[in-house]
Amino acid sequence: VMQVESAWGPLITAGIFAATLSSALASLVSAPKVFQAVCKDRLFPYITYFAKGYGKDDEPRRAYGLGFGVAMLMILIGDLNAIAPIISNFFLASYTLINYACFHASFANSPGFRPGFKYFNMWVSLGGAVLCLSVMFIISWSTALITFLFFAMLLKFISHRKPKVNWGSSTQAQYYKSALNGMLKLATIEEHVKNYRPQVLVLSGNPVARTTLVDFVRNITKGSSLMICGHVVPNIPNDQALSYMRNVDEQMNEWLRRRRVKAFYVSTVNQSLRAGVRTLLQVAGLGKLRPNIVFMGFKADWTTCGPEGISDINEYFGVILDSFDSNMGMAILSNAGGGLDLSEMMKRHKVGDTKRLKLPDVNEPEITSANVKWNEEIINESTSSNPQSSLLGSTSNKDVSDAAANEYTSSFMESVVEDGAENEKASVAPADSFYVVVDDVSPKVSNEMDLQSVTDEPARRSQRPTAVQRDVFASINRFNRSKAKSTAATIDVWWLYDDGGLTLLIPHLLALPKSYLAVVLLIIFMKGEYRYFAFCQIV
């Protein structure tokens, strides 16, 4: 029919031969290379055999053989009309995805997408994708649905496996563009009390070491409000300390993500706790996404620290004053059930990575990049008598490469150890809390504490935890809603005067679903008399 309708019949025949040869060459040369790359990325199981290459050009000979076998199977069918709809639909599906990928990369203004064609237009790419999709259904709607199902299964499988590969997709560029535009629009909108959200700056120090404090604040924000874990690292802000903290920032944000805490980690290096918190109060957040509440731990030793601890008390009290001067609300958590720190109990009862609870000697010999790693108790509020000691004193004169710094931080994220013996006494680590340890053995630890890793000794790890170990584990996760639920809780709110409502808002948020409190009785005390303000049973 095409030859009859064409101006010159042989031209159609030549075009068919040209299209056939070009498609065959593309399938023979390009397809095995792409399949080899997929095998190397380990996106699918049982196909790594075809990842092997040969020669200086890494030729995928095994993939060539597989492609030849598939082509022979199609040819042996012997009926072109039977296989043409299937092959055509898969080709059209590929062209649809390619056209849409070009459109989306251009629409998201991805800096890595730079088409060389002078007259490229993203709307033409979108139109091409729509046309290819339409032709798929025109040829055979049933085959098109099967093709869609096949690609959907591949997408679902890859999403489920979550491979550790980064292709620099245009989706990432779209997220950035949407977030940037949203922040710019939000900056021009006047705030209203009906849209008020508690945006919390948690002075958590090392969040890995203060899971109790982090979990409690997470029960307030619930992923619907901004939560920032602020950390003041007491050290002179030199180049080495700043380089280390950049690596720590990445690892700590990764730890928060793995623990499913929707929060950000922000650190600052400063010798003074109060000055460091002032920096966090000024720079934490962006645009309208700035904290309006400061959350910190209760300094339980303020009555027993003696004259030598007056300066620490003044620093702590100064943080409270600075928070009010910054027009922020203030919340202080006092965990009466044993404080916010359980590191001593963890050492005593062998719960968690007890090997890394041991503090290194600050006078240890020079550290090499071959066997260094972060101490899991990297922010240990412990026992040094000199609060102004150098954060990185043991390595301040040592030239450590970026690779060594990555080794320093590789295991830092996986720590689930409470840091030090004074976490219940203050919410920010003192100056002697940054350690590097030397160890020829790097035991593998889990990303989150579990009862299977009650000790760092493999021989004992298979034993069942004791009752005391279970109690310690429960204390560590007492505010973690996925591991503990309080079925008979009472929240007493002492509303002595109208302070804007924050005193009532925080208990109300704790009583909402997705909190560690399952059944809550909320009682308000006002001006010396109490009344039942609300009673709600949350299932």
Which residues touch 476 (CB under 8 Å, ≥6 apart)? 211, 212, 342, 346, 351, 416, 418, 449
Let me know whether 153 and 224 are in one domain.
Answer: no
In a domain? residue 528: yes
The C-alpha atoms of residue 414 and residue 151 are separated, in whole angstroms, by 36
In a domain? residue 182: no
Let me know whether 440 and 500 are in one domain.
Answer: no
Let me know whether 462 and 322 are in one domain.
Answer: yes
pLDDT the model gives residue 125? 93
pLDDT the model gives residue 396? 33
Please return the burial class of 377, using the count of CB atoms within 10 Å of its CB with bins 0-12, 13-18 and 19+: buried
Domain boundary residue, one of 144, 161, 178: 161
Let me know whether 306 and 349 are in one domain.
Answer: yes
Of 443, 363, 444, 378, give the one whose Cα is nearest residue 408. 378
The C-alpha atoms of residue 92 and residue 95 are separated, in whole angstroms, by 5
Which contiguous run of DSSP H or E holds residue 532?
strand 529-537
Encoded amino acid at 511, one letter: A
In a domain? residue 430: yes
The C-alpha atoms of residue 215 and residue 207 are separated, in whole angstroms, by 10
pLDDT in tens, 428-478: 333 232 222 222 223 333 333 333 333 344 444 456 777 777 777 776 677
What torsion do the CA atoms of 513, 517, 523, 524 make, to the nearest 10 degrees?
Answer: -70
Instruction: Name the domain count of the chain.
Output: 3
Of 210, 204, 201, 203, give the one whose Cα is nearest residue 420. 210
Let me know whether 133 and 257 are in one domain.
Answer: no
- Overall pTM surpassing 0.75 (yes/no): no
Beta bridge partners of 331: 295
In a domain? residue 177: no
Let me know whether 150 and 206 are in one domain.
Answer: no
Query: What DSSP designation does 286 have?
Result: B
**Average predicted confidence (pLDDT) for the chain:** 71
| Average pLDDT rounded to a whole number, residues 526-532 | 50
Domain boundary residue, one of 479, 502, 526: 479
Encoded amino acid at 329, one letter: G
Domain boundary residue, one of 131, 161, 191: 161
Confidence of residue 140 (pLDDT cuts 50, 70, 90): confident
pLDDT surpasses 90 at 484: no
- Give the residue carrying structure tokens 């996986």: 414
526 vs 80, 375, 432, 510, 531, CA distance in Å?
85, 48, 44, 20, 8
In a domain? residue 194: no
pLDDT the model gives residue 132? 92
The C-alpha atoms of residue 323 and residue 292 are separated, in whole angstroms, by 9
High-pLDDT (> 70) share of the chain, %: 67
The C-alpha atoms of residue 93 and residue 99 are separated, in whole angstroms, by 10
Let me know whether 236 and 152 are in one domain.
Answer: no
Phi, psi of 488, deg, nearest 5: -145, 80
In a domain? residue 155: yes
In a domain? residue 376: yes
Q: Listing from the earlier edge strand, what are the strands of the sheet with 529-537?
A: 489-494, 519-526, 529-537
Tokens found for residue 514: 């997705």
Q: Is-contact 357 347, C-beta < 8 A?
A: yes
pLDDT surpasses 50 at 248: yes
pLDDT in tens, 68-96: 888 888 888 888 788 888 888 888 998 99
The C-alpha atoms of residue 457 and residue 460 are separated, in whole angstroms, by 5
E-state strands within 280-398: 293-297, 329-333, 372-374
pLDDT in tens, 27-74: 788 888 888 888 888 888 888 888 888 988 888 889 888 888 888 888
Let me know whether 369 and 333 are in one domain.
Answer: yes
231 vs 206, 234, 432, CA distance in Å?
6, 9, 14
Tokens found for residue 68: 């030849």
What torsion do the CA atoms of 117, 122, 128, 129 make, to the nearest 10 degrees?
Answer: 130
In a domain? residue 472: yes
Which contiguous run of DSSP H or E holds residue 228?
strand 227-233
Let me know whether 462 and 507 are in one domain.
Answer: no
The C-alpha atoms of residue 192 and residue 431 are separated, in whole angstroms, by 41
Question: Domain span at residue 51?
Answer: 2-161
Let me know whether 312 and 207 are in one domain.
Answer: yes
Confidence of residue 346 (pLDDT cuts 50, 70, 90): low
Let me know whether 95 and 230 are in one domain.
Answer: no
- Give the residue carrying structure tokens 């004259």: 307
Let me know whether 329 and 408 are in one domain.
Answer: yes
Q: Is-contact 134 108, C-beta < 8 A?
A: no
The C-alpha atoms of residue 251 and residue 410 are separated, in whole angstroms, by 8
